[in-house]
Amino acid sequence: MKRAFYAFILFTLFLGVAAFSAATADAAGPQWVVVNPGDTLYSIAARNGTTVEALMRANNLPNPNFVYSGQRLLIPLGNPTYGMPAQPQVAPAQPQAAPAQPQAAPAQPQVAASSVYYTVRPGDTLAAIAQRYGVSLSALAQANKLTNWNFVWYGQRLLIPGATNVNGVQASAPPAAPKPNNAAPSAPSAVNAPTTGKWIDVNVTNQTITAYEGSTPLKTILVSTGLPRTPTVLGTYKILRKYPAVRMTGGTPGYDYYDLPNVPYSMFFFQGYAIHGTYWHNNFGHPMSHGCVNLPTAEAKWFYEWAPLGTPVVSHR
């Protein structure tokens, strides 16, 4: 009887050890989370004690600005931490002897270091600012709580992580201001005007838009048309729909997806292609878009108020 009792006790202990080992092995396995509506890669990284860059590497994500509801993400093992203080040194077993010679007088106290800020200028991008200051794109985005790494605006004030002012001397020299190309070439008189009334000319080679009255140019400004992989359509169209503000989404999920609320003064001239104001960049004169014609917001307002529905739009090289 005693043998049976001892055997039962040993069997119970064996089951407990096995269960503990299985739980430990499971806890050491990969950790996954499911993306909820409203989540961003930045918020997921912050909640799980990791970084955006680590999440992108672990999940092979090409775009830091796009995750979708229901997506399963692997949380990399370990909690990367930046700027951790060094571990305190162990005190020596015996007290050190006092120095034979008196110590030199302490240096004059330094003025407290202050943070360095940079004001966004025309043509700047977050990646270009990070490169000029020698900081990572993710560090710059996290320091300024930016969730969209593709958007900064003219006049925005950005904290540069790691750069300091000491005694009025900036530790990181300010970058030289880019030279924006704001001078649009003057448009010639139209040789083959499509109408004697109002029409709009879009020149993707010169990156210009011109308002014409018959063959007479009234206004020409620089624009940003489609990038090589997402070109602006060429041909003769007309303004089909106008919205003072509209939400625009598109692109490829996980690659170049975009979701832009309140795009101002939008005039659609062919399917999803529109002439509209632009608040997310100021790099006019260079292709930047997914096929639309980007204008400065104030100029887009002028074209929006000037051109009625049905106004011809001629897009060409």
Instruction: Give the model confidence (pLDDT) of 288-316 as tens digits.
Output: 999 999 999 999 999 999 999 999 999 99
> CA-CA distance, 68 to 76, in Å (whole number)?
19
Pick the last residue of a domain from 128, 153, 170: 170
Q: Which residue has the higher pLDDT, 293 or 49?
A: 293
Q: Which residue has the tokens 């991008």?
A: 125
What does the pLDDT read at residue 100?
A: 52
Domain check: are 286 and 204 in the same one?
Answer: yes
Q: How far apart are CA 17 and CA 225, in angstroms?
A: 67
Examine the pLDDT at 89 and tell me if it is beyond 60.
Answer: no
User: Which one of 77, 98, 132 terminates a domain?
Assistant: 77
Q: Which of 52-66, 190-204, 206-220 has the lowest mean pLDDT?
A: 52-66
Residue 93 in domain: no
Same domain membership, residue 205 and residue 150: no
Do both 242 and 298 map to the same domain?
Answer: yes
Question: How many domains is the chain partitioned into structurally?
Answer: 3
CATH of the domain at 62: 3.10.350.10
Highest mean pLDDT among 40-44, 102-106, 184-188: 40-44
Q: What is the pLDDT of residue 156?
A: 79
Query: Is residue 102 a part of any domain in this protein?
Result: no
For residues 36 and 73, membership in a common domain is answered with yes
What is the per-residue DSSP string for 221-251? EE-B-B-TTSPPP-EEEE--EEEEEEEEEES
156 and 58 inside one domain: no
In-domain check, residue 118: yes
pLDDT of residue 32: 82
- 207 within a domain of the structure (yes/no): yes
- In the numeric block, which tokens belong to residue 229? 């992989």
The rounded percent of the chain whose pLDDT value lies above 70 is 69
Q: How far is CA 53 from CA 46, 58, 88, in A?
A: 12, 9, 30
> What distance lies between CA 269 and its chain's CA centroid?
29
Q: What digits encode the pLDDT tens for the residues 97-126?
A: 545 555 555 555 554 556 788 888 866 788
Q: What tens digit of pLDDT does each residue of 212-250 get?
A: 999 999 999 999 999 998 999 999 999 999 999 999 988
Range in 34-48, 177-191, 196-210 the model is least confident about: 177-191
DSSP 115: E
Tokens encoding 61: 């994500």
Residues 121, 66 share a domain: no
What is the percent of the chain where pLDDT is above 90? 33
Whether 205 and 310 share a structural domain: yes
Identify the CA nearest to 292 among candidates 278, 309, 307.
278
pTM, rounded to two decimals: 0.48
Same-domain check for residues 204 and 131: no
**Structural domain containing residue 44:** 30-77
Q: Pick the last residue of a domain from 128, 151, 170.
A: 170
